[in-house]
Structure 1
Amino acid sequence: MRGETSLNSDRCAREKFAPALREANVQAGVVSSELFDFANLLDSNPRLERALTDPSRPAEDKKKLVDQLLEQSGALPLTRQILEDIAQRAWSKVDHIANAVEDIAVDATLYYADVKSVTATVAIELAMIHSAFLNMPQVRSRLSDTQVDAETRIAFLKQLLEGQRLNPLTVILAEHATRDLRNRRFLSTLSWLINQISSHMGEQVVTVVSAVPLTREQFSGIIAAYSAKLGKPVHINSVVDPKVLGGLRIQFGAEVHDNTVVAQLQQLRRKVGVGE
């Protein structure tokens, strides 16, 4: 959990730069990449994090340190402005500054997705990846394994996604979810990203996995039920997976309701002590 000071700093920075990111058009994609790179730099350099969050250090010194770090990088002026602003704010804990950089990097990615008109597509594809890996504990473990380097995890993810026609922004965010774990699990980061996109779009993405395509009546019923339950418009991402045998698995954000036949069989096996 982040402290109140960090939450306030994060919120204020995001609100301050939202208009600029919205107006940046395609350059928002460049800003997002540069911010993700800086977040990775912070995660790999605790000394730098301490220098940029030291409450006894003048804000102007922190701004100058950011400028020195970016001097040879060719970073866009907007990226520089964002990082200078974040460095001059107060943070409850040292590592919260990297979280804030990541938050605005995701915001920039979504504004770029808006320009490309693929925001909903990215949300749906991330939900599909989450759903596909939900019952694959060994896969999830490898994608969250801090004992191997990030590039090894990314290579494994690329192998898993090979042949899938995914939007490039979906791939970028999925790779980020395994590259920069920051004490999180891969699937929890995907859920967080899906929630961020839902908030950005002003609606909730609800992924429904079924053995056969949903009927029109089922589709309408789920929309009505979950719009009422969540108090906002919902977008249904329907995934057909014959392996679930029957029933429905419904996911929104980090919450999953699995009433599929295969899930019930697995639960029964656990109860009677039969190996899967």
Structure 2
Amino acid sequence: MRGEASRIADRVSRDSMAPRLRDTREEAWRIGNELFSVTNVLDNNIRLERALTDPSRPVEDKVALLDRLIGGQSHEMTMEILTDLVGRKWSRVSDIANAVEDFGVDGMMYYADATDATLQVSIELAELHSALLNLPVVRSGLGDPKVPSQARVELARRLLEGRGLNKVTYRLAEHAACNPRNRRYLTTIQWLINKFSRHMGESMVTVTTAAPLTQEQIEKLIALYTRKLGRPVHINSVVDPSVIGGMRIQHGDEVTDNTVVAQLQQLQRLVQA
């Protein structure tokens, strides 16, 4: 949980800088990547975080430190966002890295907007989340802080290879593996799905079945979850023959699994017990 000072700093900075970041359109790809890199640097350098959030240190000194680190190499908007952030008050030193990462994700979303890929990325993230539910060993390896960062990234690349994903989806999934940030990998993917859903003004409901849903089934699910959630929903239909039958429905952290394979697994656990 972020303290009150950090919540205010984050909200005011986003209100000020997010519209300008959005206006960079396709340049937001570069900015998002630079902000992810800065997030990684901050997470691995507590002294730097303290220097950039020290309320007794003049803002000019903090900006000069940023300039020594990335000045002349980064996009001017990257520098403007970071300059704005170091001028704010933070409840904890680590909260500034959270804000930088948030802006990095924003950059990826705005690039997706500029390339008409926002819905595609949202669906691909939901499909990745659904696939990982059946791969406990893989998702454990992707988020294990004891595993070297490069090994986690290579594992993510092998998982994503050949799927034909949008480059934003690929980059977000790679970032989640590169720097777990004290989160489970699946938790990070769900956080990203939620951010994209809020950005689009609708909720993503992922439905996994052994065979494709009919249009009638999709319409019924849309009506049901629109009433339940009180806002528009998008049904992401995932076909996975391994579930055999039934449905697995996921919205946010809530998963309702009535598939045949889930029932068989439950029966197996009961027999073993």
Query: Structure 2 length as normaliser, TM-score?
Result: 0.97
Q: Aligned partners of 1:9, 1:108: CA distance in 2, in Å?
A: 19
The aligned residue for residue 230 of structure 1 is 229
The aligned residue for residue 187 of structure 2 is 188
Q: Is the 1:66–1:87 Cα contact (8 Å) retained in structure 2?
A: no
Unmatched runs of 5 consecutive residues or more in structure 2: none
Q: Aligned partners of 2:4, 2:256: CA distance in 1, in Å?
A: 32
The aligned residue for residue 247 of structure 1 is 246
The aligned residue for residue 49 of structure 1 is 49
Query: Structure 1 length as normaliser, TM-score?
Result: 0.96
Q: Aligned partners of 1:255, 1:118: CA distance in 2, in Å?
A: 26
Q: Aligned partners of 1:81, 1:184: CA distance in 2, in Å?
A: 28
- Which stretches of structure 1, 4 residues or longer, exceed 4 Å deviation after superposition? none
The aligned residue for residue 25 of structure 2 is 25
Once the two structures are superposed, residues 199-245 of structure 1 have per-residue CA deviations (whole angstroms, 9 ceiling, x without a partner) of 11111111110011112221011101111111111111101111001
**Residue type of the partner of 2:246?**
G
Does the residue aligned with 1:26 lie in a helix, a strand or coil?
Answer: helix
**Residue type of the partner of 2:82?**
L
1:212 to 2:231 alignment:
no
Does the residue aligned with 2:152 lie in a helix, a strand or coil?
Answer: helix
Does the residue aligned with 2:134 lie in a helix, a strand or coil?
Answer: coil
1:150 to 2:149 alignment:
yes
- Give 1:71 shift: 2.3
Q: Is the 2:10–2:99 Cα contact (8 Å) retained in structure 1?
A: yes
Q: Is the 2:71–2:79 Cα contact (8 Å) retained in structure 1?
A: no
Q: Aligned partners of 2:156, 2:34: CA distance in 1, in Å?
A: 22
- Give 1:103 shift: 0.3
Q: Aligned partners of 2:118, 2:179: CA distance in 1, in Å?
A: 22
With 121-130 and 11-20 compared, the bigger mean Cα shift is at: 11-20
Once the two structures are superposed, residues 234-262 of structure 1 have per-residue CA deviations (whole angstroms, 9 ceiling, x without a partner) of 11110111100111111122221111111
The aligned residue for residue 159 of structure 1 is 158
With 63-72 and 132-141 compared, the bigger mean Cα shift is at: 63-72
Q: CA RMSD in A?
A: 1.2
Q: Is the 1:192–1:254 Cα contact (8 Å) retained in structure 2?
A: no
Q: Is the 1:34–1:79 Cα contact (8 Å) retained in structure 2?
A: yes
Q: Aligned partners of 2:116, 2:92: CA distance in 1, in Å?
A: 37
Q: Aligned partners of 1:255, 1:47: CA distance in 2, in Å?
A: 38
Q: Aligned partners of 1:149, 1:87: CA distance in 2, in Å?
A: 30
**Residue type of the partner of 2:110?**
Y
- Give 1:116 shift: 0.4
Q: Is the 1:53–1:87 Cα contact (8 Å) retained in structure 2?
A: yes
Q: Is the 1:248–1:259 Cα contact (8 Å) retained in structure 2?
A: yes
The aligned residue for residue 80 of structure 1 is 79
Aligned positions, number: 273
With 260-269 and 122-131 compared, the bigger mean Cα shift is at: 260-269
- Give 1:7 shift: 1.6
Once the two structures are superposed, residues 95-131 of structure 1 have per-residue CA deviations (whole angstroms, 9 ceiling, x without a partner) of 1110000001101110110000000000100111110
- Give 1:138 shift: 0.8
Quote the sequence identity (%).
56
- Give 1:34 shift: 0.8
Q: Is the 1:6–1:90 Cα contact (8 Å) retained in structure 2?
A: yes
Does the residue aligned with 1:236 lie in a helix, a strand or coil?
Answer: strand
**Residue type of the partner of 1:21?**
L
The aligned residue for residue 112 of structure 2 is 113
Q: Aligned partners of 2:90, 2:270: CA distance in 1, in Å?
A: 47
Q: Aligned partners of 1:159, 1:19: CA distance in 2, in Å?
A: 36
Q: Aligned partners of 2:102, 2:87: CA distance in 1, in Å?
A: 17
The aligned residue for residue 170 of structure 1 is 169
**Residue type of the partner of 1:260?**
T
The aligned residue for residue 130 of structure 1 is 129
Does the residue aligned with 2:25 lie in a helix, a strand or coil?
Answer: coil
